[in-house]
């Protein structure tokens, strides 16, 4: 009995240490998995932060351009081209501010969408980085078909000719996407996710352009000006329809008109 008590007195710390190590390992794995599942949300929040900084910088540029414009107007003997340059700079600054404001609004919408997707996702759903992996692999599979299929290679030799500008642009985008691809799916940071997503989107666009110039049947076509205008009209129609739907509610919230006071020259 005494040897057993001596062993327990000497090695009593092993059980708590093992339990603590197991708990720490489980917490680390759980935290890593949760971070990987909310990677798209964290990336959207980082985009929102960057868009906010760009908007602040654009507002500062507008203030500087306004000050330069007033300075150019206050100088009586200043050349006319200086006032024109200051006016053009002010217009460009205001346009940049408007663009930055729209970008911030778009980033905030992506944050809301990412939060909704994160709350709706389950443990069985693929991680956000897996969707990028799948899109990247799909493009590589489509390109390898021109390398392995003799009929496709003979029908569209331009797709395997690096001397063609469109094919060369695709090969460069392919190399960039491979360099930006995270090796550990659960350790990717939001910045790595953003860079990899931009590289995959650029890879898709360059491959579609290479197929279009090669004359591949069913290749993606660039949007025409008419289609762009139609899309703009559709968006405007959607906004007008939303305003029309909300108009009765807005009218109902308006206070009733006040009764006008009787004129002094009119006898009630």
| Report field, pTM of the whole predicted structure over 0.85 | no
Q: State residue 24's pLDDT score.
A: 42
Q: State residue 118's pLDDT score.
A: 85
Task: Decide: helix, strand or coil at residue 265.
Answer: coil
Residue 219: is it exposed, middle or buried by C-beta count within 10 angstroms (0-12/13-18/19+)? middle
Separation between Cα atoms, residue 27 and residue 44, nearest integer Å: 25
Low-confidence ranges of the chain (pLDDT < 50): 18-30, 223-244, 247, 250, 260-261, 263-264, 266-268
Measured torsion, CA atoms of residues 28, 32, 35, 36, in degrees rounded to the nearest 10:
-170
* 215 Rama sector, left if φ>0, alpha if ψ -120 to 50, beta otherwise: left
Residues in the chain: 268
Q: State residue 28's pLDDT score.
A: 40
Q: State residue 9's pLDDT score.
A: 63
First to last CA, the chain: 115
Are 100 and 58 contacting, i.e. CB atoms less than 8 angstroms apart? Answer: yes
Q: State residue 64's pLDDT score.
A: 92
């Amino acid at each position: 009995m005494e040897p057993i008590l001596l062993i327990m007195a000497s090695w009593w710390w092993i059980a708590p240490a093992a339990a603590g190590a197991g708990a720490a390992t489980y917490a680390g794995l759980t935290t890593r998995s949760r971070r990987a599942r909310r990677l798209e949300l964290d990336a959207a929040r980082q985009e929102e932060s960057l868009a906010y900084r760009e908007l602040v910088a654009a507002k500062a540029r507008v203030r500087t351009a306004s000050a330069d414009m007033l300075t150019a107007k206050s100088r009586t003997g200043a050349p006319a081209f200086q006032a024109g340059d200051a006016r053009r700079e002010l217009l460009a600054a205001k346009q940049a501010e408007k663009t930055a404001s729209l970008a911030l609004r778009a980033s905030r919408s992506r944050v809301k969408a990412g939060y909704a997707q994160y709350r709706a996702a389950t443990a069985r759903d693929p991680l956000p980085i897996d969707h990028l992996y799948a899109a990247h692999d799909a493009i590589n599979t489509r390109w390898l078909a021109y390398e392995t299929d003799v009929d496709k290679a003979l029908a569209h030799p331009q797709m395997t000719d690096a001397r063609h500008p469109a094919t060369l642009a695709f090969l460069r985008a392919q190399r960039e996407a491979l360099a930006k691809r995270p090796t550990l799916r659960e350790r990717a940071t939001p910045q790595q996710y953003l860079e990899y997503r931009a590289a995959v989107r650029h890879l898709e666009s360059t491959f579609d352009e290479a197929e279009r110039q090669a004359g591949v049947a069913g290749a993606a076509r660039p949007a025409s000006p008419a289609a762009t205008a139609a899309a703009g009209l559709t968006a405007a129609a959607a906004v007008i329809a939303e305003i029309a739907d909300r108009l009765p509610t807005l009218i109902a919230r308006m206070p009733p008109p006040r009764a006008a006071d009787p004129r002094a020259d009119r006898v009630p």
